[in-house]
């Protein structure tokens, strides 16, 4: 499999604080690669080092065979970037923005195709500042993909979008990938990472905690749990059960995170049988990336 | 080249979409001339009528407002809101951005200068410049000196407010001390000396002179100083160009 991005032992410091510490990963051609982590974890810093905007303090980065900070202009012809918090000129109309950005690149632009794909027809004569959040994201996505980039970097593309707009954004990203684009995306919506990404890197405090497919990450024990309802059981009854890592409870609905679901289930049933406590809606749950995310976050707090 | 042209045209269009900047750039100077005119008209100074004195100097002041506000402060706001950062991830080079904005500023300045001249001719019987080629050349040199000068100074600002503060400071100091509004001859000696440190002083000498008295060849000192400012500022503005506030 051809690799389009190689990052080796990359670190970035702001003052004496590490924003990113000893990060290594590769991205394969044609995949959707997710970088996830809580706010301030170093996702954007990582992305901006790949884009060549920030220079790492140590480590090497190779994007499409270039050193990003040294060959920025050449690289920029072949990558597309959607920033998290940048804006284009407020009083620029959508049509004008597309024309302007198309003029920055030598080759033909897929402007008309993107207008169709993103449904921008009705908004072509609207000033950027008058667009809603969802439309702004669509426009900046269009600006990032005008020149059919080989790699597309998206920094929190669905931030601030309602669930419907978010799903539409995902299907657009899927379509761009079908055109042959490699996509690197940061997000803190776990659902997004789960549904969209081929592989996910989890970053906490600038360090890589896990890197795998969403399915493999979910198979990790930390996210497995037993879910059931009971109005007689107390949280503290469960915390001492063998193999239990963590208990979540709200209004009689329990999530018991454990190392071995079968063994812990056995103990819970035993206790309930002995004490004649009734359980209902008991099932084995695989857990979500959300659980894994919280697990790492709590681990962090404990340290 | 296409990118420079597109950007210059778009920025010019967007300028006219902002009513406030249109007011300050086009109407404010006209209102000022009219106010000063109601006070000074009829009083000849150094053998020049009111309009011969004030119209060329307000055209000079307009170079300052265009360079500091239309160019400098706007670019500082683009730096703050991430417009420039967005450009950074395209193949667009910084010099193209600076050239495009300079072209846009020049176009807007030309409109405002023509407006002032017509107003002067209509209200106060101003005539066209005596040495029109020299006046045009003087304007070109003044633009080349002031645009990069303002672009550099405002690029030092951390954010838009700071850029606007720098711009207002320079505009106000130059407005009152460089002879644009009050005749230098009436000022105490210290202030007369300060006036000569301000670039606008030389622009106004050059514009008033070529408009009323002599061709540009008689103003070697002014031309030399302005070209010097121009070269140094262009070097500084392109050397210290920043994409973002960080």
Average pLDDT, chain B: 91
* Calpha distance A81→A85 (Å, rounded): 12
Residues of B in contact with A156 (CB under 8 A): none
Q: Is residue B244 one of the residues assigned to a domain?
A: no
Q: Is residue B148 one of the residues assigned to a domain?
A: yes
Taking one residue from A and the other from B, the number of pairs with CB-CB distance under 8 angstroms is: 63
Query: A225-285: what fold?
Result: Alpha-Beta Plaits (3.30.70)
Residue at token pair 């669930």: A163
Residue-range definition of the domain harbouring residue B146: 2-239
Could you tell me the strand order of the sheet in which A151-155 lies? A79-82, A151-155, A182-187, A32-36, A199-204, A207-212
**Contact check, Cβ <8 Å, A92/B10:** yes
* pLDDT tens digit sequence for A167-184: 888 998 999 999 889 999
What average pLDDT does the segment B152-157 reach? 91
Per-residue pLDDT for B166 more than 80? yes
Higher pLDDT, B108 or A303: B108
Mutate to test the interface with B, among A53, A82, A125 (most CBs of B within 10 A): A53
**Contact check, Cβ <8 Å, B91/A73:** yes
Residues of A in contact with B90 (CB under 8 A): 76, 101, 104-105
Q: How confident is the model at residue A302 (pLDDT cuts 50, 70, 90)?
A: low
Q: How confident is the model at residue A92 (pLDDT cuts 50, 70, 90)?
A: very high
Model pTM?
0.85
The ipTM is 0.88
CA distances from residue B178 to B201, B204, B244 in whole angstroms, order as listed:
5, 8, 34
Structure tokens at B192: 């007369």
| A207-212/A199-204 β-pairing | antiparallel
User: Which of A293, A69, A136, A124 lies closest to A201 in space, CA to CA?
Assistant: A293
With a CB cutoff of 8 Å and minimum separation 6, the contacts of A246 are A256, A257, A295, A298
Number of domains in chain B: 1
Higher pLDDT, A289 or A58: A58
- Judge contact between B51 and B120, C-beta under 8 A: yes
Report yes or no: B197 at the A interface, CB cutoff 8 Å. no
Which chain A residue has the Cα nearest residue B90?
Answer: A76
| Structure confidence at residue A143 (pLDDT) | 94
Per-residue pLDDT for A303 more than 60? no
Least confident of A66-70, A81-85, B76-80: A81-85
| Structure confidence at residue A133 (pLDDT) | 85
Structure tokens at A55: 């220079």
User: Which of A140, A92, A73, A5 lies closest to B90 in space, CA to CA?
Assistant: A73
Residues of B in contact with A50 (CB under 8 A): none
* pLDDT tens digit sequence for B56-107: 999 999 999 999 999 999 999 999 999 999 999 999 999 999 999 999 999 9
* Calpha distance B153→B168 (Å, rounded): 12
Residues of A in contact with B100 (CB under 8 A): none
- Judge contact between B197 and B184, C-beta under 8 A: no
Higher pLDDT, A282 or A224: A282
Kindly provide the residue ranges of all beta strands, DSSP E only, lying in A244-302, ordered along the sequence: 244-250, 253-258, 280-285
Of B11, B17, B91, Cβ closest to residue A104:
B91
* pLDDT tens digit sequence for B197-208: 999 999 999 999
What average pLDDT does the segment A234-261 reach? 85
Q: How confident is the model at residue A295 (pLDDT cuts 50, 70, 90)?
A: confident
CA distances from residue B138 to B19, B33, B209, B226 in whole angstroms, order as listed:
30, 21, 10, 10
- Domain boundaries A3-218, CATH class: alpha beta
């Amino acid at each position: 499999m051809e690799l389009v991005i190689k990052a080796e032992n990359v670190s970035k410091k702001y003052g004496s604080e590490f924003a990113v510490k000893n990060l290594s990963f590769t991205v394969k051609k044609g995949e959707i690669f997710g970088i996830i982590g809580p706010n301030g974890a170093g996702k954007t810093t990582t992305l901006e080092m790949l884009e060549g905007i920030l220079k790492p303090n140590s480590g090497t980065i190779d994007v499409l065979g270039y050193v990003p900070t040294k060959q920025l202009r050449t690289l920029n012809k072949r990558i597309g970037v959607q920033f998290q918090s940048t804006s284009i000129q407020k009083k620029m109309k959508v049509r004008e923005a597309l024309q302007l950005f198309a003029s920055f690149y030598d080759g033909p632009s897929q402007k008309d195709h993107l207008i169709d794909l993103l449904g921008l027809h009705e908004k072509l004569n609207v000033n950027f500042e008058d667009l809603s959040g969802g439309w702004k994201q669509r426009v900046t996505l269009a600006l990032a993909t005008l020149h059919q980039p080989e790699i597309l970097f998206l920094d929190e593309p669905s931030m601030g979008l309602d669930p419907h707009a978010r799903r539409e954004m995902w299907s657009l990203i899927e379509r761009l990938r079908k055109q042959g684009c490699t996509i690197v995306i940061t997000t803190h919506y776990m659902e997004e990472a789960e549904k969209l990404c081929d592989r996910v890197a989890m970053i906490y405090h600038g360090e890589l905690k896990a890197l795998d497919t969403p399915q493999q990450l979910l198979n990790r024990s930390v996210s497995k749990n037993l879910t059931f309802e009971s109005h007689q059981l107390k949280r503290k009854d469960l915390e001492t059960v063998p193999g239990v890592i963590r208990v979540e409870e709200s209004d009689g609905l329990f999530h018991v995170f454990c190392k071995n679901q079968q063994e812990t289930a056995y103990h819970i049933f035993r206790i309930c049988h002995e004490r004649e406590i009734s359980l209902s809606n008991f099932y084995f749950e695989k857990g979500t990336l959300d659980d894994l995310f919280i697990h790492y976050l709590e681990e962090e707090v404990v340290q | 080249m296409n990118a420079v042209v597109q950007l210059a045209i778009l920025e010019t269009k967007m300028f006219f979409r902002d009513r406030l900047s249109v007011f300050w750039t086009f109407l404010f100077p006209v209102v000022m001339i009219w106010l000063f005119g109601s006070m000074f008209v009829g009083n000849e100074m150094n053998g020049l009528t009111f309009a011969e004195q004030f119209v060329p100097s307000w055209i000079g002041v307009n170079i300052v407002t265009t360079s500091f506000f239309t160019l400098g402060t706007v670019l500082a706001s683009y730096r703050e809101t991430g417009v420039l950062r967005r450009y950074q991830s395209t193949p667009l080079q910084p010099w193209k951005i600076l050239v495009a904005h300079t072209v846009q500023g020049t176009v807007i300045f030309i409109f405002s200068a023509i407006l002032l001249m017509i107003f002067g001719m209509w209200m106060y019987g101003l005539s066209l410049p005596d040495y029109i080629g020299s006046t045009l050349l003087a304007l070109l040199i003044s633009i080349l000196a002031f645009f990069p000068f303002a672009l550099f100074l405002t690029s030092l600002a951390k954010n838009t407010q700071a850029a606007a503060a720098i711009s207002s400071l320079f505009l106000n100091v130059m407005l009152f001390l460089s002879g644009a509004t009050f005749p230098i001859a009436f000022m105490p000696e210290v202030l007369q000396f300060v006036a000569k440190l301000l670039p606008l002083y030389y622009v106004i000498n050059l514009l008033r002179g070529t408009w009323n008295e002599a061709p540009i060849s008689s103003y070697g000192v002014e031309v030399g100083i302005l070209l010097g400012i121009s070269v140094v500022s262009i070097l500084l503005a392109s050397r210290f160009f920043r994409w973002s506030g960080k």
